[in-house]
Structures are given as C-alpha cells and as structure tokens.
Structure 1
C-alpha cells in the first residue's frame, strides 16, 4: 500500500512541477514542451530524481492514448471554416509532404551516414510528421496572429499527418523485423485500407457519438465522460479493424466539434484540461525513458539528420506542396520553419522496441535528439521568424467574456443558442448606436443588464463597456457574434504591421472613390461597387484575415473581418513583388531588367558613336 501511495505522491509532484515550470517558461520564452521533456529527464535514473522506468510497452499504451486524446481535442477545436480554407494544402503536406520529407532524410541517412535503405527509410518515417501538440500549443502560446489560410493549413496538417507517419513507421519496422528488403505494391494496398477505414469509421463514429450525446438523458458531469469513452472506442475499434485509429479519432473530433451537441461547453472544457494532462504525461514518460549517457554516441548522426530535416527536407516538401496553392514564398518559408517535431517522433521510435528490433535503441536516441534540436531551434524562434518574414498579422482582438446556455434538452430540435456576453471596451457593440448595430441575421438582443439593473430595451440607445447582454442567435453565427463584443484596439491602424498596408479604409468604401483618391484605374469594374463586395467576389466566401487581392497598381489586404464581410481593408500602394505569385514575380523581374537595359542602351550607343 505504501509503495503505491509513493508513486501517487511522485506523480502528483511531477505534475505540479510541470505546471510551475510552465509558468516560468512562459516568462523566459522557452518552449513549454521542451520543459516537460526536460523534467522527465531530470526525474529519470540518471537525473536527480533517480526513477528507473524502462517499460516501453506501458509507455506505448499511455502514449497512444494521450496522442489520441490530443488529436480528438484538436479536431474539436477545428471549425468548418478552418477546414475549408486549409484542407487542400494541408492534405498535400500531410501525404506528399510526409513522403518527400521521409525520403530526403532517408537519402541522407543512406548516402551520407551509410545506413541500409530500409533502416534509413524507418528513420525518415519516424521524424517525418509534425507534432499536433507542439504546433497547436506553440502557435497558440506565441501570440502570433497569422493569415487565416496559413494558420488553417498548419493546424489541419499537424492533426492529419500523424496517420501517414505511423503507417510508414509500422511498415518499415515490420519489414526490418521480417528481414524484407524490398518494397512491394502491397504497401499501397495497406495504405488505402488503413486510411479508408480510418476516415470512414471516424466520420461514422463521430456522427454516432453526436446522436448518442443528444439522445441520452444524463447528469451534466457524465457527458464529457461519455464523449471520452466514445472517442477512445472509435480509436481502438478502428485500430483493431485494421484502419488508422489516429486518423479516425481526429476525423471524429472534427465531426463532433462542428455539430450541435448537448453540453458542448462542458465537453470542450473537459477535453481542454485532458489535452494538457495528456501532453504533460506523454512528455514526462518519454523523458523518463531516455538515458542521457546513451545519447552521446548518436548525437553526431542525429544532428546531421536534424539539419537535413529542418533545412532541406521540410522546406523542399513545403515548396512542392504549397506552390500550386498560390502561397507566397515568405509564407512557405514560415510553414517550413513551423514543421515542429515533438512527442510523436519519440513515440514512433517505440515501434522498433515493440518488434524487438536490435537497432531500436539507436533509432530511439536519434529521434530524441532530433526532437530536442527542433524544439530548441524552431520552437524558440517562431515569433522572431514570423516577424522577420513579415507574416505576422496584428494581434487578434481580446475575446469577449462569453457563456453559452442550454436552451433545451432536445438540442436537435433547436436552431438557436442563448449566449451571455460582457461588452468589452472599444468593442464594435459599444462603438455604434444600438439601432445601427449590424448584428448577424436571425440574431436578437433580448436582455441588457447595466450596473446590476435590467434595462428596458426601448430605452437603451447604445451599449456601454461593462454591460451584460443576453443574445439569441443561430449556432453558426456565434463565432461572428463574438467579434461584435470582443475588445478591439483603440487604433486598429496603429496596430498594423508594414505588411498590412500603407492606409486603412472601411470595407464599405466605394471603389470609385478609392480609385480616384489613389490614382488607380478602375478598368471594367463598376465604381459603385464597395470594396467589401469586390473582395468577396474575387476571393470567395472563404476569405480570411491576411488574404490579398492585386487590383491594378495597388493591393488590398483583409485586415478585420466579421462574418462574410471584410470591415477593415489595408491598401498597399507599392506591393512587394515577393507577395505575388511566382509567374507574376518572374514577369515583374523581367520587366525591371528590360527597363534597365533600355535605359542603358542610349548610353552605350552614344559611347560607340563618339569613339
């Protein structure tokens, strides 16, 4: 009994140490996941903690479960708009990009380091995927606001590329264990089976879990437990059926998070805390597994592979996968640098241990060092790189204080949400008279509480900061409504970076007035068209913050967007050619060189004549 309690004491102390170390790391800018990993190493048998932990089977089970929870939580927090913006490029990066990365790292391992092809491909597969926990956490904690499409691509990619890396790792581990040295067409069959089953069972399981949540009458605290049990059932059932459980649980999370589900606020908060616990436990366990003295012989090898991965493999994969989708070079460079490696490569390195492969220790040590290098170099420099590449947008407005209320037990029959807000200073809701407040369609303000007193709505001319309001709105417009009540900067123009425009105008501005003011040719465009209408027509309904539109000699940039309408638009009078497509960029440089040549030709001619 005392022995078991001692482990409870040790575990609780490690969790507390992780939390307090996280608070300290946020002040010095250290990557939080690196702190968790370091604490695990310090608690290990070669550190001050002296804990001997070598159970790779237990670490694999706990790591699988933790990663499944993280992926489900990531799916929960991926709205449909994010998927629509980033699905194409994210799928390219999570499939073709993973293959390119794994292949290039394998080529370096084979030709430079002299490893056999199958072992080289195993190493490339282990380090090929970005880490969902690392990307979600570091992008969120760094406070960087990115162009909506770029951020969507990175988030969806980090959640969807794990299945590809897991498949490749299992394939090459099995080949090494069986002594096979050639890759056959059976690999494609296995891949189609795993991904097909994973996607289908994940979607079906997600819809089934939503149906079950909305039909059962339970105590409020049981709904998060039901969601957890259902998610893990989808994960484990798909794995046992021969599909990709990691893909299934991520897809199930996306389905679940984009449907009307009873007690969704409770479920969201529950999985937020559980995801943090999963990340801490996974990194602490993997840190405990490491023997620092055994890393020394493989450090040189790991550093070579880490450099190949960060400076060649990931950038090459990013350029090949994102160029067809029109991403500017600076955004491609940032996406390449955000290819963070976290717990997933270390977790994947456990597969050779489970198969009893005799070089499994070397694979594990190499993966661990690669992760350390990635977290140290990439994780620590993300904000600096974002600003150097000029991809960072002005910070998002401070979120409004919001509380959702369940209107009815039968949520499938309700098409409205009841939401309570606190009106924030400088919010759009406080800047305009109530009659002029352009709330989303089918949205109604029903109660205003000011200084603790319920106000008569006909007497409320304008909302004030600190007011509490109750709003009835369709669920699909809740995110749009958040922007009305959230804190904006006192001067949005003052927050603009150099990449957000030389001037800031309202989206409702007439195009004819703007073109006359800035000397831009309208062409065939109607002068009565508003700037917001032009952007919506040219960029589509899925446009987001940071999206750009070249119009004549200027460029328009979406700076502030509420719902489908861009409210603030930046104007760049002399656009940077680097922000254009590669064809336009090539044409721009060619024209510049021809103009320079024409300027020099008279001088050359006059010089020849005088001679």
Structure 2
C-alpha cells in the first residue's frame, strides 16, 4: 500500500513562504536605505521567475488577474478606512479633478509619446497611455506612511484621495480603448454616446453602492461591537469580507467596484470610528499581505528576456510620463485651486506607479488585443522606474521643496518653519503691523487669521504662509478648519 505524498503541497508552500520571508526581511533593510518596500517584492518575483536564478515558470495570467483585482480592492478599502472626512475640506475637489480629467490628460500625452517611441497605432498607443496613466493607491498609501515626512493637509489629502479615486477612471479608459483597439475603427457619435452612458453607469453605480454598502456595514459594526465581545480580528474580517462583497456585486452589476470599495471604506471609517479603530492594525496586515502577494506574483509573471526587447523605448516613455505628462496634467488641474508651485511640483513628482498598471496590462492580454504582450512589458519598466526614482525620493523632495512640516517635539525645525514668535489668531492685524513696524494692508481692520485666510484665497492648512513687508506670517495651529495660532518670522531686508 503506497503512502500518500504531500510533496505537491509542501514544496510549493515552502517555496512561497521562503520567498515572502526573504522579501520581507530584505524590504526592512531596503526601507532604511530609502528604497520602496514594494520594489523588493517585485524584484524578488523577477529573480524567482523563469529568467532569474529561481527558474520558476509561471504564466497563469487569469490567476494573476484575479489576485491582482482582489488585492487592489483590499488596499483601497484600507486606504478608505484611514481617510478622514475632515480632509475633504482641502483635498476633495482637486482630487476629483486629478482623478478624472488628470488621468485623461496624462493618458493622452503618454499615448502620444508611445505612438512615437514604440511605433504603435493610435488606438493601441492611447490604450497604453490609459494603462500607465493613473497613480497607484498601494504605492502612494504605503510610501507616504513610511516616508517619515509630515506633509501639510492640503498636499497629503490630495495625494491620498486622488490615488484612491483615479483607479476607476483608469479601468474605464482601459476597457473603452480595448474596444476601440479590437474594432480598429474610429469612434462614431453613437460610440461616444455609449461611452458616456457607460461612464455614468460605472461611476454613478459605484458611488451609490459604495455609500449604501458603507452605511449598512457601519451600522452593523456598531451593533456588533455594542452587543458582542468581539476581538479586533473578527471586526477586521467583517470589514474585509463586507468590502469584497460590495466590490464583487458592484462589478457584476456594471459599476466600478474599485470606486465602490474605496467609498465604502471612507463611509465606514467615518461613521463607525470606534468599531473601526481597533481593527486598523489587522487591516494593515491584510493590506500588506495583499501588496506582497500581488507584487510577488506580478514579478513571477514577468519575463525580463522579453522586456529587454523594448527596454529603452519603455524607459523613454517612463521619462515622458514622470517629467512631462504627469507634471503638465497636475499643473492644469490644480491651477484653479491656488496650489503653490512647490505643492504642484511635489504632487506631480509623487505620481507613483505600482501594481495597477501591471494589472491593467493584463486586460488587453485576456481580451486578445494584437501584440498585447508589449503593454505588460512596458508597464513593468514604467513601474520599476517610478518606484526606483520617485519612490525613493519622496522624503527628500518634500524637504527640498520646503513642504515637510516639523514634528511637535522638534523645536529647531519648528522655529525654522514657523519663526521665533507666535500669537493668537484673533490678534488685530493693525496692532501687529504697528508693533512690528509693518506696512498695513488695505484690510488691516481684520484679525490676522481673517487676513491670512482672505489673502491665501483657499482653505488654509498648517504651514501656509504669506509675506507682509519684512515679515512672514504662517499658519501654526488649526482646530476644526479654523486658524488658532500664527507664527511670525522676521526677514532680512
């Protein structure tokens, strides 16, 4: 009688566990050196793949597509749970414009570069632009949290909300342009109308089901926490399973599951804060597991030998995306909201590309678009370039642009940013000008906080500053959207 062999289970499990363990360990060291934690997982997958020392052959695009979508849903849910409703005051409107018009502009400029650099016809070039056109929620959430830099509310909120909301637009554009590439025909008027109807359905249904599902899940969590002695892990399981259920149902119904699960996270996180707070640690673990599994699997799926054939044109496309397409689209979208040049430059630079372009590159492969392998190869190069160049310089760029706010205990940096003096926000500006011998403006009858708010011409955040004569007045402290303390720095003539 032959004994049952479990080699089919133990050997793949050993390889997978060892790969994740080594990647996590290497990631801890790479993070201290300033490199993206996520980059290590992707490189580990490449090294373990068929062209690397590991020699593992893996080409299951269907499984990778399934895992990638589920992982992105978990990551967006986690990001939504951590998005404070108060940040909508400064970040919602610019984020919405970046997540819609910004993605379209970025995709169009990148598509034009792809047409020239890779000699693709216009439908496939624009499809490639759509694939790499959106920032990646996993990369942005993870790298901003681990960068060690404290950004002002306007910049941080805009980056986080945009990265959570632009994936649906990228998915929509990718699916629409796949249809154009397969038909190889110009869009007719009827086709444009169908696109608009699909857009309204996807985003309208996604937002509606996300809000409705979030409200129901928040009520359920509050009742469960009040009636049962549940552990943090149970609450996290309810969150993940509920979020994935809404994601799947919305997608099946024809809406944007990615938008729905992010909106659900925002609603639940703000309506049921007491129930969600204990579960955030476990949710963080789920999100990291999703990111690790997704990047490892995508690295295994890639074949560096094939990537080498289009490496230099793909690298050129990455440069156009980082240096032209993203900055131009960000500048055009944020100009109406009175962002400073330094803020626009930083938001443009933190347009990180992660797993989303690689997952989107599987769409044309599975749809049977001719020559679709090139999308996957180019997306891989773009992601590697973005994580290496942009991901490793998030903290450095914030400091160089003067956008890093001081820690409360860092007295030297606090004085450097806000100046040596502080005063109450209700201090009359006329008294301040008389005391420091500053030229009084026309509206000197206002309080200093009122003058700052009116002059900034945008919702104020900690770190905002305006010059008045030979002094710089800055927002030092705020409470519930109102300025409470102001810093003063006297400048040399």
Equivalent-residue separation in structure 2 for 1:277 and 1:318 (angstroms)? 31
Matched-pair contact (CA < 8 Å) for 2:202–2:255: yes
Q: Which residue of 2 aligns with 1:67?
A: 72
Q: CA deviation at 1:176?
A: 2.2
> Cα deviation per residue 1:407-441 (whole Å; 9 max; x = unaligned)?
xxxxxxxxxxxxxxxxxxxxxxxxxxxxxxxxxxx
Bigger mean CA offset, 332-341 vs 139-148: 139-148
Over 3 Å counting, the alpha-carbon distance change for 1:87 and 1:563 in structure 2 is closer
TM-score scaled by length of structure 1: 0.74
Does residue 1:200 correspond to 2:117, yes or no?
no
> Cα deviation per residue 1:506-543 (whole Å; 9 max; x = unaligned)?
3357335432232124456577x764565567779953
Does residue 1:558 correspond to 2:475, yes or no?
yes
Bigger mean CA offset, 350-359 vs 382-391: 382-391
Matched-pair contact (CA < 8 Å) for 1:283–1:343: yes
Q: CA deviation at 1:169?
A: 0.8
Higher normalized contact order (CA 8 Å, seq sep 6+, divided by chain length): 2
Task: Look at both structures and tell me which one has the larger radius of gyration over its CA atoms.
Answer: 1
Does residue 1:569 correspond to 2:486, yes or no?
yes
Aligned match of 2:432 in 514, 530, 537?
514
Over 3 Å counting, the alpha-carbon distance change for 1:271 and 1:151 in structure 2 is same
Q: CA deviation at 1:139?
A: 1.5
Q: Which residue of 2 aligns with 1:351?
A: 363
Q: Which residue of 2 aligns with 1:305?
A: 317
Matched-pair contact (CA < 8 Å) for 1:299–1:369: yes
Does residue 1:94 correspond to 2:95, yes or no?
no
Q: Which residue of 2 aligns with 1:209?
A: 217
> Cα deviation per residue 1:301-327 (whole Å; 9 max; x = unaligned)?
201211111111001101100111001
Q: CA deviation at 1:501?
A: 4.4
Aligned match of 2:345 in 333, 343, 360?
333
- Three-state SS of the structure 2 residue aligned to 1:570 is strand
Over 3 Å counting, the alpha-carbon distance change for 1:174 and 1:394 in structure 2 is same
Bigger mean CA offset, 17-26 vs 557-566: 557-566
Bigger mean CA offset, 312-321 vs 563-572: 563-572
> Cα deviation per residue 1:115-172 (whole Å; 9 max; x = unaligned)?
1111001100000000111111111211122221111111111111000001111111
Q: Which residue of 2 aligns with 1:480?
A: none
Gaps of 5+ in 2: 1-5
Matched-pair contact (CA < 8 Å) for 2:472–2:489: yes
- Three-state SS of the structure 1 residue aligned to 2:203 is helix
For residues 535-550 of structure 1, what are the structure 2 equivalents within 5 Å?
535=452, 543-549=460-466
Aligned match of 1:381 in 382, 393, 405?
393
- Three-state SS of the structure 1 residue aligned to 2:271 is coil
For residues 287-302 of structure 1, what are the structure 2 equivalents within 5 Å?
287-302=299-314
Over 3 Å counting, the alpha-carbon distance change for 1:295 and 1:285 in structure 2 is same
Matched-pair contact (CA < 8 Å) for 2:207–2:263: yes
Over 3 Å counting, the alpha-carbon distance change for 1:219 and 1:194 in structure 2 is same
Equivalent-residue separation in structure 2 for 1:392 and 1:310 (angstroms)? 22
Gaps of 5+ in 1: 398-487, 577-611
Aligned match of 1:256 in 248, 268, 277?
268
Equivalent-residue separation in structure 2 for 1:108 and 1:573 (angstroms)? 48
Over 3 Å counting, the alpha-carbon distance change for 1:308 and 1:365 in structure 2 is same
Q: CA deviation at 1:265?
A: 2.7
Over 3 Å counting, the alpha-carbon distance change for 1:389 and 1:262 in structure 2 is closer
Equivalent-residue separation in structure 2 for 1:161 and 1:550 (angstroms)? 36
Matched-pair contact (CA < 8 Å) for 2:338–2:458: no
Over 3 Å counting, the alpha-carbon distance change for 1:179 and 1:219 in structure 2 is farther
RMSD: 2.4
Matched-pair contact (CA < 8 Å) for 1:110–1:120: yes
Over 3 Å counting, the alpha-carbon distance change for 1:569 and 1:122 in structure 2 is same
> Cα deviation per residue 1:475-526 (whole Å; 9 max; x = unaligned)?
xxxxxxxxxxxxx33x2xx11375x344431335733543223212445657
Q: Which residue of 1 aligns with 2:414?
A: 496
For residues 316-465 of structure 1, what are the structure 2 equivalents within 5 Å?
316-395=328-407, 397=408
Over 3 Å counting, the alpha-carbon distance change for 1:293 and 1:523 in structure 2 is closer
Q: Which residue of 2 aligns with 1:119?
A: 124
Equivalent-residue separation in structure 1 for 2:286 and 2:97 (angstroms)? 30
Equivalent-residue separation in structure 2 for 1:126 and 1:339 (angstroms)? 14
Q: Which residue of 2 aligns with 1:220?
A: 230
Q: CA deviation at 1:261?
A: 5.2
TM-score scaled by length of structure 2: 0.91
Does residue 1:5 correspond to 2:10, yes or no?
yes
Matched-pair contact (CA < 8 Å) for 1:174–1:355: no
Matched-pair contact (CA < 8 Å) for 2:338–2:457: no
Q: Which residue of 2 aligns with 1:23?
A: 28
Q: CA deviation at 1:5?
A: 2.2
For residues 177-196 of structure 1, what are the structure 2 equivalents within 5 Å?
177-182=182-187, 184-185=191-192, 186-196=194-204
Q: Which residue of 2 aligns with 1:242?
A: 254
Equivalent-residue separation in structure 1 for 2:200 and 2:25 (angstroms)? 45
> Cα deviation per residue 1:231-278 (whole Å; 9 max; x = unaligned)?
011100000000000000000000001013563233212211111111
Matched-pair contact (CA < 8 Å) for 2:337–2:458: no
Equivalent-residue separation in structure 2 for 1:231 and 1:324 (angstroms)? 35
Equivalent-residue separation in structure 1 for 2:455 and 2:379 (angstroms)? 45
Bigger mean CA offset, 42-51 vs 198-207: 42-51
Equivalent-residue separation in structure 2 for 1:80 and 1:575 (angstroms)? 41
Equivalent-residue separation in structure 2 for 1:208 and 1:55 (angstroms)? 37
Does residue 1:285 correspond to 2:297, yes or no?
yes
Aligned match of 2:179 in 171, 174, 183?
174
- Three-state SS of the structure 2 residue aligned to 1:349 is helix
